[in-house]
Chains A and B, each alone.
Chain A
Amino acid sequence: MKPTTRKRLFRGALYAIFIIAVVVVAVLADWEAIQSNFFDLDVAAEAFPGIITTAAKNTVVYTAIAFVGGMIGGLILALMKLSPVGPYRWLATAYIELFRGLPALLVIFGFAFAVPIAFQWRPPGGSAGAGLIALIVVAAAYIAETIRAGIEAVPKGQVEAARSLGMRPSWTLVSVVLPQAFRIITPPLTNELVILIKDTSLLFIAGMALGDRELTTFARDSVSSQANATPLVLAALMYLVITLPLTQLVAKLERHNKRGR
């Protein structure tokens, strides 16, 4: 057999397997059950407008708060980690390793339940607020490492040029290093943002007031009250509407960076 013939046969076999698999799934699947359990229009209608005005809105708001908080915390931690002062470096390293090593769910649980009981402290914003603080605490650890990598990727000559012009270290950082570092890390930072969007779903463990519910909590409550999975599908679509443009953006930025500026 000629190599080209063999290649063509192999390609044909792959297509055949795919078509058989599709046919088998189509024949075996209980389409009625799928339709009535996952795509029930009446149940879907029930979910509106709350799934948008409350749930999707809260998901976006929580993500924004956690991201901004995580960026501020991450920047401080990154600068501490690059500090010439030993104790700052050690503290930042310990923090980053700790919170990257723990499941986010456990941290949320701690802030929502353990911390308030232990210290007789009511977090602002109730359970949602406590959960958000936990998300910020965890996000800061990841973002810190990203920012540190970005700062270290800025060529040493940039700092030398700024310092040789008489610019103070603080101005050098703000006007020369950070703008270049953030340009370098825009793709990974956008990835952190996408991960954060999905991680807001973990807030359900905190147990939230009705108006504080985000997409996953909202969908789960609807699923149990309606005994139907359609709200879950709606929530999934909402997540994709938010995350897909961002992941596309990351892909585009990465192609752009590869080509060089």
Chain B
Amino acid sequence: MAATPRTDVPAIEVRDLHKSFGDNEVLKGIDFHVDQGEVVCVIGPSGSGKSTLLRCVNRLEEPTSGTIIVEGVDITDEDTDLDKVRTRIGMVFQQFNLFPHLNVLRNLTLAQIRAKKRGRAEAEEIARRNLAKVGLAEKADAFPSQLSGGQQQRVAIARALSMDPDMMLFDEPTSALDPELVGDVLDVMKQLARDGMTMMVVTHEMGFAREVGDRVVFMDGGVVVEQGKPEDVLGNPQHERTQGFLSKVL
């Protein structure tokens, strides 16, 4: 199969995905997809396998069985160049994971130069453009430790965007932030969604899911329990487990 990305298929398609850690089966047959340009919010109780599903999509976790197709390319196929696929999938972590020994600009240029083989000048120009996009143009020379959590997370988003990804994965991007810093990060994500970015967002921010999400997926116990339009899943949940979860978080 040709390993070139296609635009006429879902951005992400997961079929019958199983994942076990030892005896602990964490994903029990997940079928899941994200269309191009779609914003899908994944919600569910802690330990339900949301992070594991997200991390399987760029194979930070090795699936036990099942198929994961990204823009028509089967990434569970041994012959697929994973590094190449990953440059098209931006990932934002709960703990930011900026490189603490590099300043902000170098955080944004490192992978452009090493993985995308861009020249330094081009990489820096792209980095500065993305820093401006997240409202941190003046922080190019700062080190991560000199920034607030919210600023660090926005730098992390800019770092992912600098690779010109076709889609972005977010794993609880605001969970490690002080409440007053959450808004800035969510604003950046909303702008991204408006610009048409394909997004898979694991989140506990129900307001964000309702406002920005095209679809909400509720997971529990390693399966997708319910999914649909945000107003349906969040406003009128059909399953008891969804109702139970929402009554606790809303």
Contacts and interface: CB of A to CB of B under 8 A. Distances in A.
Interface stretch (A24-32, A93-101, A126-134, A160-168): A160-168
Contact of B99 (A164, A166, A176, A261): A176
Contact of A164 (B60, B84, B116): B60
Contacts of A176: 99, 110
Contact of A165 (B95, B100, B101, B160): B160
B163 A165 contact: yes
Nearest to A260: B145
Contacts of B99: 158, 161-162, 176, 180
Contacts of B160: 165
Interface size class of A (residues with CB under 8 A): 20 to 34
Contacts of B98: 161
Interface in A156-185: 157-158, 160-168, 171, 175-176, 179-180, 183
Contacts, number: 66
A171 B114 contact: yes
Contacts of B114: 167-168, 171, 175
Given A175-B114, A180-B101, A166 B84 contact: yes
B16 to A, nearest CB: 24
Nearest to B58: A164
Interface string B153-173: 000100110010000000000
Interface string B166-192: 000000000000000000000000000
Nearest to A156: B97
A164 B116 CA distance: 13
B10 to A, nearest CB: 20
A216 B100 CA distance: 43
A166 B112 CA distance: 9
A175 B159 CA distance: 16
A171 B113 CA distance: 11
A168 B176 CA distance: 28
Contacts of A167: 83, 110-111, 114-115
A180 B58 contact: no
Interface stretch (B39-47, B86-94, B134-142): B86-94
Given A160-B60, A175-B114, A261-B145, A165 B159 contact: yes
A172 to B, nearest CB: 9
A183 B97 CA distance: 17
B101 A166 contact: no
Contacts of A161: 91, 93, 97-99, 156
A259 to B, nearest CB: 12
Contacts of A260: 145
B97 A165 contact: no
A168 B115 contact: yes
Contact of B87 (A158, A165, A175, A261): A165
Interface string A28-45: 000000000000000000
Nearest to A162: B111
B100 A163 contact: no
A111 to B, nearest CB: 38
Contacts of B145: 260-261
A183 B99 CA distance: 13
Contacts of A160: 60, 93, 97
A20 to B, nearest CB: 53
Interface string B211-249: 000000000000000000000000000000000000000
Contacts of A158: 97, 99
User: Which one of A163, A164, A171 has the highest number of Cβ atoms from chain B below 10 Å of its Cβ?
Assistant: A164
Given A161-B91, A166-B116, 4 more contacts: A161-B99, A162-B99, A165-B159, A165-B160
Interface of A: 155, 157-158, 160-168, 171, 175-176, 179-180, 183, 260-261
Cβ-closest 5 pairs across A and B = A166-B87, A165-B111, A161-B97, A166-B115, A164-B91
Interface of B: 58, 60, 83-87, 89, 91, 93, 95, 97-101, 110-111, 114-116, 145, 156, 159-160, 163
9 contacts: A155-B97, A158-B97, A162-B111, A166-B86, A166-B163, A167-B114, A171-B114, A176-B110, A183-B101
